[in-house]
Structure 1
Amino acid sequence: MGNESMKNCEFIPLTELLLEIIDNRGKTCPTVSEGFPLIATNCIKDSSIYPVFENIRYISEETRKNWFRAELKPNDIIFVNKGTPGKVCLVPEPVNFCAAQDMVGLRVDPEKIYYKYLYVVLKSDYIQKKIANFHVGIMIPHFKKSDMEELLIPVPSMSIQKKIGDLYCLLSEKIEVNNKINDNLQKQLELSFDYYFNNPLTSKKWKSGVLSDIATITMGQSPSGDSYNNVGDGTPFYQGSTDFGTIFPMIRMYTTAPSRMAEKLDTLLSVRAPVGTMNVSFEKCCIGRGLAAIQGNNDNNIFVRYLLKRNQWYFDNINNSGTTFGSITKDYLYKMPITIPDDMSIKRFEDNAKTLEYQIYNREKEIRTLSSIRNWLLPMLMNGQAIIVE
């Protein structure tokens, strides 16, 4: 049954739905080594409702009080207007950061629009395409404040706004909670590895070797370009680290002519700049020239992955060599020098780690299911093909 109220809703310029646009100085804010967090555009992620603290800088208390024209408040919407225009997130409570240039804060008029609904609409494909059309052909994409007057927002009744906004954010918050739990489980795996293999008393039993002694290594090879598609036809295909997520890669491409394959839960290693970054394959997949798939021999898959993580220096040698596009060869990877612990220590670690990895994998399955529901539901609600009932 269609949602007639949504289909026939009024389209109103974005600026008419706001009480204020918080636009601070369009120049670099003075920073200090420690102090109050200052977020930049890189902290606004499609995967997070709120800003993430990634590569943040800091400002002094004096700068915080005197530099900015206005302060962000909870439930404002941060809107990136330069570099990656259109990326948005909500401002949490309490507000524990300031925002750098190239972003503005949107403060909604609560009599006209629900803040969560506007956040959801701004993230929709419909609005994102509109925003993209404003900066076609520009070297550094820039969405001007004046452009906001031409951005028309569909505005249904307040009850429909709240249903759409609350449902979308509820699903997103559950996804974020699962991601945080998985991050914590990853840290537990790292601590477990250090507990088992940073013990000088047992290391006397260990021996020297190379990576190919304990792992099977498959170097990627890109299939024919005319086999690529993004409609789900064939096998998931990962070309390089640009497909990587926090733990697992995200599918952007499929191929109907897969060549080199990685198995489920293999370690995917970037062999082109940045060399050494890693993910875990979520499913059996095809890998391109930018990746290698590494599978532990003798049921030691997780041990091999964390051994690679603890030997990042070997990859940093390539990244720091001064070569613009660093890469590693098959021989370089095969001959990576390692220390091989005794079989009993590896088995104890692996038995414990499997329980944690099983939890991470199942939680990722839930994340993907929730994301699929959310991303399918939003356009259906926006175009009136679905309705939320009490």
Structure 2
Amino acid sequence: MTKEVKNVPDLRFPGFENTWETKKLHQIVDVKDGTHESPKPTDDGYLLVTSKNLKNSTLDFSESYSISKEDYEDINKRSKVEIGDILFGMIGTIGNPILLEKDGFAIKNVALLKTSSLQEREYILNFLKSNSITKQFYKLNVGGTQKFISLRSIRDLKIDIPSSEEAIKIGGFFNKLDRQIELEEQKLSLLEEQKKGYMQQIFSQKLHFKDENGKDYPLWEIKKLGELYKVVMGQSPKSINYTDDNSHPVLVQGNADIYNGNIFPRMYTKEITKLVKKGDILLTVRAPVGEIGIAQFEACMGRGVCSIEGNKFIYYFLEMFGIQNKWQKLSQGSTFESISGNEVRNIEIPIPSPSEREKISDFFSELDHLINMHSQKVDELKLRKQGFLQKMFV
């Protein structure tokens, strides 16, 4: 006799044992979509949101443009956006559902899900982020050069429905978890902004450290980077010598090879051209210019980077240099965004006494440590959420 397989998740709240019911999305919520036309941009009016504006569970209006009142009203006849609706990307960025906290804009190539129940809304939002939806996308073979999912396919997505009481508990659980993630992200953002503020104040010498006796340190001297530290420009090996064999040195060619201030190994090389030593500063010198890191091991440098025999003080100064967009100003005028070795060597740097330099470096190192701890906490919470999304839905 075949054992009955129940339609239930791996992880449930105590007290719930009933089998979940499978329905199609359009049986639960009203599913529409925005325009597929391209309304003419205007200088002012109403914003037009597309799938690319759906990012990390929020709406990013930075790449949207305005359309006329007439076009806005015409689009709203079929898909009026309201607070509490769910948006779902249909082209390019598929999925990435977002619960709306504002309205007053139109949509293009975006699905619009409407339901009057708050609890139902929160449950559906998180179900659309679950592994179940990812698997359905895979079966639909959503992909190709331009990813696209039709409105009919979205309406026919299968969604497993628990009892109202269990759905409310699940929705409330993820709502609290999302709020916790949001608060930690706000703390992280505040710390990062504080660091930028301290950099501006300290390197402009508006904020000073005192010595052990409470007295001011000596005035800072202005020096050129090349007068103090050796700058080595990278040189790319022949591509025939690129390899995936990690027994060879790591090849650092540009910003894709630097992540979170460290080398991120992607490729290796059999041919050694220019080397960056462990502890040296790495700086990207070709588009984009200004990404920095500290080499945690010896590596080969391609022509997109250079090394600087500096220290933590110089590293933080160069980070501030980037915050002030000075790399972009330095690279302006060239056909291809880049800076030369001489331009790097001629950067003027205010140099404090060795004792004050050490205090500044220690201050920013401690701040970085605090930022990294908060960043790890955010990552852990997001990873935890992904685990719950996989286990708490069928």
CA distance in 2: counterparts of 1:89 and 1:122, whole angstroms: 10
Q: How does 1:338-349 map to 2 (within 5 A)?
A: 338-344=347-353
Name 2:317's counterpart in structure 1: 303
Q: Cα 1:76–1:286, aligned 2, differ >3 Å: closer, same or farther?
A: farther
Query: For each residue in 1:71-92, what CA deviation from the matched residue of structure 2 results, as whole angstroms up to 9, or x when unmatched?
Result: 2222211111011222221111
Q: Superposition pairs for residues 361-372 of structure 1, below 5 Å?
A: 361-372=372-383
Q: How many angstroms does 1:337 deviate by?
A: 2.7
* Counterpart position of 2:19: 8
Partner of 1:313: 328
5+ long unaligned stretches in structure 2? 1-8, 209-218
Q: Distance in 2 between matches of 1:198 and 1:374?
A: 42
Judged with a 3 Å threshold, the aligned counterparts in structure 2 of structure 1 residues 306 and 334 are, in CA distance, closer, same or farther, namely same
Say which SS state the counterpart of residue 370 (structure 1) adopts: helix
Stretch moving more, 182-191 or 290-299: 290-299
Measured against aligned partners, the alpha-carbon deviations of 1:194-227 in whole angstroms (never above 9, x if no partner) come to 3334469x9x954342369458889799985266
Deviations 1:8-27 (A, max 9, x none): 32221111111342x22212
Post-superposition offset of 1:106: 0.8
Asked if the contact 1:13–1:152 (Cα under 8 Å) also holds between the matched residues in 2, the reply is yes
Letter in 1 for 2:174: Y
Find out whether 1:55 has 2:66 as its counterpart: no
| Deviation per residue, 1:266-291 (Å, 9 max, x gap) | 98755564x1364778x969989677
Q: Is the partner of 1:115 in helix, strand or coil?
A: helix
| Mapped contact 1:267–1:280 kept (Cα < 8 A) | yes
Q: Which one of 218, 225, 247 corresponds to residue 244 of structure 2?
A: 225
Per the alignment, do residues 162 and 367 of structure 1 end up closer, same or farther by CA in structure 2, a change over 3 Å counting? same
Which residue identity does 1:87 align to in structure 2?
N
CA contact (8 A) 1:238 1:285 kept: no
Partner amino acid, structure 2, of 1:57 = Y
1:276 maps onto 2:283 in alignment: no
How many Å separate the matches in 2 of 1:30 and 1:86? 26
Query: What residue ranges of structure 1 are gaps of 5+ in the alignment?
Result: 229-236, 384-390
Distance 1:117 1:34 in 2: 37
- Amino acid in structure 1 at the alignment position of 2:185: N
Match of 1:234 in 2: none
The equivalent of 1:68 in structure 2 is 76
- Tell me, yes or no, if the aligned pair for 2:76 and 2:106 is still in contact at 8 Å: no
The one-letter code sitting in structure 1 at the alignment partner of 2:368 is E
Greater Rg by CA: 2
Please state if 1:148 is matched with 2:167: no
Aligned match of 1:41: 51
Distance 2:99 2:61 in 1: 14
Give the whole-Å Cα distance in 2 for the aligned partners of 1:253 and 1:8. 47
- Per the alignment, residue 231 of structure 1 pairs with none
How does 1:1-390 map onto structure 2 within 5 Å?
2-3=10-11, 8-21=19-32, 23-34=33-44, 36-45=46-55, 48-59=56-67, 64-69=72-77, 70-92=79-101, 95-108=102-115, 110=117, 114-136=120-142, 138-198=144-204, 206-210=221-225, 213=228, 224-225=243-244, 241=255, 248=260, 270=284, 273=287, 275-276=288-289, 278=291, 296-297=310-311, 299-310=313-324, 311-313=326-328, 316-317=331-332, 321-323=334-336, 332=341, 335-344=344-353, 350=361, 353-354=364-365, 356-383=367-394
How far residue 298 of structure 1 moved from its aligned partner, in angstroms, is: 5.5
**Contact 1:11/1:155 (8 A) holds in 2:** yes
Distance 1:205 1:255, change over 3 A: closer
Three-state SS of the structure 2 residue aligned to 1:11 is: strand
Q: 1:131 to 1:181 in 2, by over 3 A?
A: same
Using the TM superposition, give the Cα deviation of residue 145 of structure 1 relative to its aligned residue in structure 2, in angstroms.
Answer: 0.7
Aligned partners of 1:285, 1:149: CA distance in 2, in Å?
52
Q: Cα 1:2–1:142, aligned 2, differ >3 Å: closer, same or farther?
A: closer
What is the deviation of 1:68?
A: 2.7
Alpha-carbon distance, 1:109 to partner: 5.9
Seen in structure 2, the aligned counterparts of structure 1 residues 12 and 298 have a Cα distance that, compared at 3 Å, is: closer
- Structure 1 residues 208 and 371, CA, compared in 2 at 3 Å: closer, same or farther? same
Offset at 1:261?
9.2
Report the TM-score, using the length of structure 2 for normalisation.
0.69
Looking at structure 1, the residues matched to 186 and 378 of structure 2 have their Cα atoms a distance apart, in angstroms, of 11
The percent identity for this pair of structures is: 19
Change (3 A) 1:53 1:254: same
CA–CA distance in structure 1, aligned partners of residues 364 and 133 of structure 2 = 44
Contact 1:37 1:96 (C-alpha < 8 Å) held by counterparts:
no
Q: How far apart, CA to CA, are the structure 2 residues paired with 1:170 and 1:333?
A: 53
Given that 2:87 and 2:110 are in contact with CA atoms closer than 8 Å, whether structure 1 keeps it comes out as yes
Residues 29, 18 of structure 1: CA spacing in aligned structure 2 closer, same or farther, 3 A cutoff?
Answer: same
Q: Following the alignment from structure 2 to structure 1, what is the Cα–Cα distance between the partners of residues 130 and 268?
A: 30
